[in-house]
Amino acid sequence: MTTLLLDCGNTRIKWQLRAPDGIRAAGVVELATAEAADALALLLDSWAVDAVAISSVRNKAATAEMAEGLKSRFSCRVFVAEVSACACGIENGYHQPQRLGVDRWMAAIGAYKKLSSAVVIVDAGSAITVDYVDARGVFRGGYIAPGLKLLCGALQLGTEDVHFSTDYDNKEMSAGLSTDEAVARGLMHMAMGYIRSAQDEIARQNKGDSVPVIMTGGDALSLLAVMQEEHDYIESLVLDGLNWVFEEEVVDEL
Ligand SMILES: Nc1ncnc2c1ncn2[C@@H]1O[C@H](COP(=O)(O)OP(=O)(O)O)[C@@H](O)[C@H]1O
Ligand SMILES: CC(C)(COP(=O)(O)O)[C@@H](O)C(=O)NCCC(=O)O
Ligand SMILES: [K+]
């Protein structure tokens, strides 16, 4: 069976076509709108798809429209993942489990299935989330802060004389000697400091033992390039979790 897996974030759609023998194709669609479903369908024109699974943090209407588009394009079952109190052996400790972002839930499942131990998940996307799953597989909560692009936008909006290029992808972290450098490095320090501080707090919650980190998301590699720590990086962590949930909930029905 060939499954099209989609991770619809606030900035981009990441997708993979998975068959039992491995990943057949993968890609990124830049705009997370209804037309994105058509763009994707065009890309996948030459592939046969037996089922579609979607993890989407976009609004309900946009997600439903995309699901409908894919359903009529591929004439197959379209599964839209939801957050539950428990899935794939992982328990959701959020006060209101359904309020947790489905991408965070998928990433937590993907990460715990991978390590079978306590794990911190850093997803550096539109927002940067730092989440904690404990050794028993309980999602113990996390942190949400604006991502690098949003931080950049906020600085541009709220100042009149800070003119800078938005190309913040540099590996040098010493004090900036131009506005471009000062902003680029300032934002990176902000993100790194937040991740480290959240990680320290989680270690305290974990009886003082540090917890391994898995990073994912569009800015994870830029952050890893300037961080001293050697964290794991799994580009498809959300899709990995989605695949686990899809297999648990849907595959037997097909
Ligand atoms: N080519 C790119 N297009 C858009 N964003 C990019 C690109 N490369 C890096 N980024 C960064 O990655 C972030 C989006 O990451 P992603 O994981 O796709 O987010 P989301 O899941 O929220 O859609 C952007 O906010 C931006 O900071
Ligand atoms: C925190 C998020 C915006 C992250 O989304 P992303 O950066 O991946 O687009 C998303 O998981 C979300 O909308 N969460 C709902 C609120 C919550 O998780 O508590
Ligand atoms: K994401």
Q: Which ligand is nearest to the CA of 12?
A: 1
Contact predicate 99/167, CB 8 Å: no
Report the mean per-residue pLDDT for the chain: 93
Out of 3.30.420.40, 3.40.1160.10, 3.40.30.10, 2.40.50.180, the CATH code matching 96-235 is: 3.30.420.40
pLDDT at 33 over 70: no
**75 C-alpha vs ligand 2 centroid, how far in Å?**
30
Query: Would you say the CATH fold of 96-235 matches that of 3-80?
Result: yes
Specify binding-site residues for K(+): 123
> Which ipTM was obtained for this model?
0.98
CB atoms within 10 A of CB 95: 8
What are the tens digits of pLDDT across the range 210-230? Answer: 999 999 999 999 999 999 899
**175 C-alpha vs ligand 3 centroid, how far in Å?**
30
Contact predicate 17/41, CB 8 Å: no
pLDDT at 198 over 80: yes
**62 C-alpha vs ligand 1 centroid, how far in Å?**
19
* Pocket flag, ligand 2, residue 57 (CB < 6 Å): yes
CB burial of 152-172 (b: ≥16 within 10 Å; e: otherwise) equals beeeeeeeeeeebeeebeeee
Which ligand 1 atom sits closest to the C-alpha of 11? 23
Strand residue runs (E) in the chain: 3-8, 13-19, 22-29, 51-56, 77-80, 86-87, 90-92, 119-124, 127-133, 138-146, 213-216, 232-233
Using CA positions, which residue lies closest to atom 11 of ligand 2?
Answer: 101
Confidence of residue 132 (pLDDT cuts 50, 70, 90): very high
What are the tens digits of pLDDT across the range 85-112? Answer: 999 999 999 999 999 999 999 999 999 9
Specify binding-site residues: 7-14, 94, 101-104, 123, 126, 179
pLDDT attached to residue 164: 82
Which ligand 1 atom sits closest to the C-alpha of 216? 17
Q: Does 103 qualify as catalytic in the annotation?
A: yes
Using CA positions, which residue lies closest to atom 9 of ligand 1?
Answer: 218
pLDDT attached to residue 24: 94
Q: Higher-confidence residue: 56 or 35?
A: 56
Region 3-80: CATH code: 3.30.420.40
Question: Per the residue annotation, which of 103, 134, 219, 240 is the catalytic one?
Answer: 103
* Pocket flag, ligand 1, residue 12 (CB < 6 Å): yes
Domain boundaries, the chain: 3-80, 96-235
* Pocket flag, ligand 1, residue 166 (CB < 6 Å): no
